[in-house]
Amino acid sequence: MDEHLGYEKHSPNGDGSGNSRNGYNKKALKTELGETEIRIPRDRNGEFDPHLIAKYQTKTDDLENRIIAMYAKGMSNRDIEDHLRDIYGVEASASLISRITDKIMPAVVEWQARPLDSIYPIVFLDGIIFKVRQDSKVINKCIYSVLGINMDGHKDILGIWISENESASFWLSVCNELKNRGVNDILIICRDNLGGFSSAIETVFPKSEQQLCVIHQIRNSTKYISYKDIKLVIADLKLVYGATTLDEAEYRLEEFHEKWGKKYPQISKSWYANWAELTTYFKYPEEIRRLIYTTNTVEGFHRMLRKYTKTKTIYPSDEAVKKSVCLAIQEVTKKWSMPVRDWGIIIGQLMIFFEDRFKGHNVS
């Protein structure tokens, strides 16, 4: 108020100034320590605008930040409501909490549109299912995560996309979005056998090598096996994907087909159909093979994501899913301070295999 009027309380400098103090208004303020009553000074002309606590503000930012932090840790709106009441003595409805957490949505949009590196040596792609309410029904929707390993070997979530189904047009839009955000080249893309994704990659990133997740392939194969044969079939498949060379792997697949082809023809058919993209890793040394033959890197991220979202069984909208997932991503990625295992060896090998593609890119 001193700043606003230009003179201190009781100062004669205020005489004839045209404005003066005019008492106080009372306001109930919700803070992290509970509810308190404050007095807001006012002037006769009604021009005073408080800066520390805005004119219509009824909560401190500390309380809002704590609500967002609790939501990010996986607490539901009802849990946060109970926590605020029990610990701070603050009454905050679930709808109010939802409105407060909605304030992060502009930041989510900005994060999803941020510029990316021009080249990523390795990128992983996988999906995680959430239940979302839509048109008075609860349906399964998949959040697809693109996890990139940058030139320094650090993991980064390049973006998330939500969809009810996979299609070539959907994956084409994902690849184009990455391209528009600055990604000019991806050396190796590791993925599940997602519908339409292969052709989308070939269209936008034609030089990228694709590696299908071997573990996903094995899981899909076991769907056709009777319980008594599972251990035997998996042991024989391990001889295929665990081979030292591609020639040995092809020989082992022929053996598998001769042994199990008549009883389980779907397995052999699937392995032969996907053979080219299942065996990309055979051309690389052990350190790179161990990293790319499975999408476990991004699956591990999804397991951590589930840790923060498991209390929210059904989401009211797509926006609620994105809000929850993006806050969880912030929590998960705080721990990603170190490069992936053996990155020095891996990047050195990749620079030999893809020498021409690294020109113009600096490697730390």
- What is the pLDDT averaged over residues 258-264? 92
Q: β-strands 155-163, 137-149: how paired?
A: antiparallel
Answering whether pTM is above 0.85, one says: no
- At 277, the pLDDT band (50, 70, 90 cuts) reads very high
Residue at a domain's end among 52, 76, 104: 104
Any domain includes 36: yes
| CA–CA gap between residue 364 and residue 356 (Å, rounded) | 18
pLDDT of the residue at 168: 77
**What is the rounded average pLDDT of the residues 302-318?**
86
Tell me the C-alpha to C-alpha distance, in Å, between residue 49 and each of 4, 9, 20, 46: 9, 17, 14, 9
pLDDT digits (tens, 9 = 90+) for 321-357: 888 899 889 889 988 999 999 999 999 999 999 988 8
Whole domain around residue 69: which residue ranges?
2-104
> End of a domain among 77, 104, 131?
104
The predicted model gives 43-68 an average pLDDT of 77
**One domain, residues 301 and 316:** yes
Q: Does 79 lie in the same domain as 143?
A: no
Confidence of residue 51 (pLDDT cuts 50, 70, 90): low
67, pLDDT greater than 80 = yes
71 with 217, same domain: the answer is no
Query: Is position 364 within any domain?
Result: no
- Domain boundary residue among 58, 86, 104? 104
Which 3 state secondary structure label does DSSP give 48?
Answer: coil
Are 116 and 91 found together in one domain? no
364 pLDDT exceeds 60? no
If you average pLDDT over residues 28-38, what whole number do you get?
79
Do 121 and 234 fall within a single domain?
yes
Q: Which residue has the higher pLDDT, 61 or 231?
A: 231
- State the DSSP H helix or E strand holding residue 132, giving kind and residue range, or none if neither: strand 119-134
For helices 105-112 and 318-333, the axis angle rounded to 10 degrees is 70
pLDDT above 70 as % of the chain: 95
Do 73 and 17 reside in the same domain of the chain?
A: yes
Q: Is residue 298 pLDDT above 50, yes or no? A: yes
Q: How much is the mean pLDDT over the chain?
A: 87
- Is residue 277 within 8 A of residue 269, CB to CB? The reply is no
In a domain, 194, yes or no: yes
Into how many domains does the chain fold? 2
pLDDT of residue 34: 74
Do 56 and 24 belong to one domain?
Answer: yes
DSSP state of 340: P
The reported pLDDT for the residue numbered 361 is 58
Q: Are residues 194 and 321 in the same domain?
A: yes
